[in-house]
Copies of this chain bind each other. A is one copy, B any other.
């Protein structure tokens, strides 16, 4: 392969996409981190990310990162902020278009491809490389905000879930506590849930507990009319 170079009349920054991947294990919100194998910040944890290719947009790049780390072809991925502070990478000027992804932990094959990738509960995230601490804080803030406009919680749960799981998820994201009965009442009243007639078949299902799934048809209809999720 020939040694190719690219020259410009003006300096151009590097552009990367980073992907904050959120999952939910039924109790806690988790993020997927990668341990860096090279300097700078060798050995520290960071979000998956990489250079944006010249023929893909940021969303596509973030999806590619997601696929490389989780094997998932599709997921909820949303751009939330671009970090452009001149000193954020000690090597050269790097601008990163940050996204967050919401994935179902149940959809991910048990063994991760990359040995250096690991899920961390949000409360146990160590100090991160680059400005990724700031990126995580910003991602959480955006997630909390987005949940008022879109029922994004369902992206993190299995197809079929209990009311308790849904409530725990909302409480994890928003860092608040809801009354169990009021939460269920409000949720059911919104009309976004379909109750399963029979218990779903799975190893961990409980008897006598209602299972629900997200009713995206009703959601589409409600979105047309313009609605807000008040929590």
Count of residues in A whose CB is under 8 Å from the partner chain: 31
Copies per complex of this chain: 2
CB-based contact B11/A54 at 8 Å: yes
Main secondary structure of the interface of A (DSSP, over half): loop
Is A79 part of the binding interface, using a Cβ–Cβ cutoff of 8 Å?
A: yes
- Across-interface contacts of A93 in B (CB, < 8 A): 54
Bound together, the chains give a CA A10 to CA B145 distance in angstroms of 37
CA distance A57 to B131 in the complex (A): 14
Most buried by B among A12, A79, A95, A148: A12
A149 touches B (CB below 8 Å): yes
Offer 17 A-B interface pairs, CB within 8 angstroms, sorted by A: A4-B9, A6-B11, A6-B12, A8-B8, A12-B12, A12-B14, A12-B15, A54-B93, A55-B86, A56-B86, A57-B85, A58-B84, A82-B82, A82-B97, A84-B97, A95-B97, A148-B148
